[in-house]
Amino acid sequence: MPARSVSLVFTRTLADLRQQNRFWSLMAGVISLVDSPPLWLNKLCLVAVVRCEGITISGNFYRNKRKYLAFLCKRMNTNPSCGPYHFRSPSRFFWRNGRGMLPPQDKERPGSSGLAEGFHGIPPPYKKRKRMVVPAALKVVCLKPARKCAFLGCLAHEVGWNYQAVTSILEEKQKGKTKIHYEKKKLVMKLKRQAKKNIDRKITKYTNVLKPYGIGV
């Protein structure tokens, strides 16, 4: 099964979105954030959406599969190369839905295709970046507990995406490496705290002298 979480990687961090990467998110909520005018009008904030296979869409799996199979039957009679184009990967599902939520005049704006990039899994450029989620798009916030939902990864696998197994294997490897790195980080933090305590004991008498003057408080 694919990693059931989605996260955002911002080239410049947004303080109000610093959340842990462990929740399922609804596609419409994520798209409404990354394609919102405050983000793309401000050229300083570029967004990359990773783990697109973990994005959820409301409605049961069979219903969403039927809708996409009906879409696969649509073509242009005179020249099929003009569209509609039937994408198979979760990242392209996300991109196409995001493009459909933009006004017509904004689809042609410079750099629109590179504004919000979608990836299945976590590619190397973003493995060591801080990842965030969209709190307003979380499934636990937007949907009632009894409501059914479908994952983009499972839906894409059913309609022709052949990399679900590969992506899940790479995700497990990435989680193993992340766990090792976090254990090392916890050890370093523990040693730093202990070193600070040792230093505090030695400089207590000097700190007490400086406190009345507002230094070292």
Q: Average pLDDT for residues 155-168, to the nearest whole number?
A: 94
What's the pLDDT tens digit per position in 99-117?
777 777 665 554 455 457 7
Residue 143 shares a structural domain with residue 189: no
Residue 143 shares a structural domain with residue 180: no
Instruction: Name the phi and psi angles at 56, rounded to 5.
Output: -105, 155
Q: Please report whether residue 185 resides in a domain.
A: yes
Give the residue with greater pLDDT, 76 vs 126. 76
Comparing 43-57, 68-82, 94-108, 184-198, the range with the smallest average pLDDT is 94-108
Q: Please report whether residue 170 resides in a domain.
A: no
Q: Please report whether residue 192 resides in a domain.
A: yes
Q: Please report whether residue 2 resides in a domain.
A: no
| Confidence band of 24 (pLDDT split at 50, 70, 90) | low
Work out the angle between the directed axes of helices 90-100 and 27-34 (0-180°, nearest 10): 60
Q: Average pLDDT for residues 169-188, to the nearest whole number?
A: 93
Half-sphere exposure of 194 (CA within 13 A, CB side): 6
Yes or no: say if 51 and 168 are a contact pair by the CB < 8 Å rule: no
Q: What's the confidence (pLDDT) of residue 162?
A: 95
Q: What's the confidence (pLDDT) of residue 42?
A: 54
Taking Cα atoms as reference points, which of 77, 90, 94, 84 lies closest to residue 35? 94
Q: Which residues of 117-147 are buried (b: 16+ CB within 10 A; e: fewer)?
A: bbbbbbeeebeeeebbbbeebbbeebeeeee
Comparing 3-7, 26-30, 95-99, 117-121, the range with the smallest average pLDDT is 3-7
Q: Please report whether residue 181 resides in a domain.
A: yes
> CATH code at 94?
3.90.1180.10
Residue 58 shares a structural domain with residue 142: yes
Instruction: Tell me the pTM.
Output: 0.74
Residue 141 shares a structural domain with residue 207: no
Q: Report the alpha-carbon distance of residue 45 to residue 60 in Å, rounded.
A: 34
Give the residue with greater pLDDT, 37 vs 58. 58
Strands 47-50 and 7-10: antiparallel
Q: Print the domain residue range for 191.
A: 176-213
Instruction: Name the phi and psi angles at 180, rounded to 5.
Output: -60, -45
Taking Cα atoms as reference points, which of 106, 97, 135, 100 lies closest to residue 37? 106
Where would I find the H helices in the chain?
A: 27-34, 37-41, 61-72, 90-100, 104-107, 124-127, 139-142, 152-158, 164-202, 204-210
Residue 180 shares a structural domain with residue 155: no
Instruction: Share the mean pLDDT of the chain.
Output: 80
Domain total of the chain? 2
Comparing 2-11, 13-22, 49-58, 128-137, the range with the smallest average pLDDT is 13-22
Q: Average pLDDT for residues 112-124, to the nearest whole number?
A: 75
Res 64 pLDDT > 70:
yes
